[in-house]
Amino acid sequence: MISLIQSKGFRQDALPDVIALYRGSNTKQLDPSFLVQNSELEPAQLLASLIIDQNGNFQQAVVLEIEPAKLQSEKSTYEQALSEVFKTENFLAAHNNDGTKPDLSNLYVRIKMQPANSN
């Protein structure tokens, strides 16, 4: 099993001891200019991976699950929206107990996107 993992380029110790941590607010609003360009955004619940670098900077958002299911074909639009929201946010980078930091790490988050005037 280990030789298979190594031959595929995976590291056996790939997960950091301490995952990345989001330091911002639990509620965000999209820039209105983004919403004008992407008027097809509908309310959705997302499971996303935020990719964070070793300096705690946001790099990319990947939508893993989206509800309602009819929005599956729109994942890239929601990834763009998440990138817009998190591009300037602060994160504590993932690290290992020995002080080393992985180049990139994933922070898995559940996100509810809805119009600002609804609860």
The structure's pTM equals 0.79
Give the pLDDT of residue 27: 84
Q: How far apart are CA 82 and CA 87, in angstroms?
A: 8
Q: Is residue 75 part of a domain?
A: yes
CATH number at residue 90: 3.30.2420
Per-residue confidence (pLDDT) for residue 112, from 0 to 100: 93
CB neighbours (10 Å) of residue 82? 24
Distance CA(20)–CA(91), nearest Å, equals: 7
How far apart CA 24 and CA 54 sit, in angstroms, is: 18
pLDDT score recorded for residue 20: 94
Q: Domain residues for 45?
A: 15-113
- ∠ Cα 30 35 37 (to 5°): 140
pLDDT tens column, 13-48: 568 999 999 998 888 777 666 655 656 788 999 999
So what's the pLDDT on residue 6? 44
φ/ψ region of 4 (left if φ > 0, alpha if ψ in -120 to 50, else beta) reads: alpha
Residue 41 lies in a domain: yes
Q: How many domains does the chain have?
A: 1
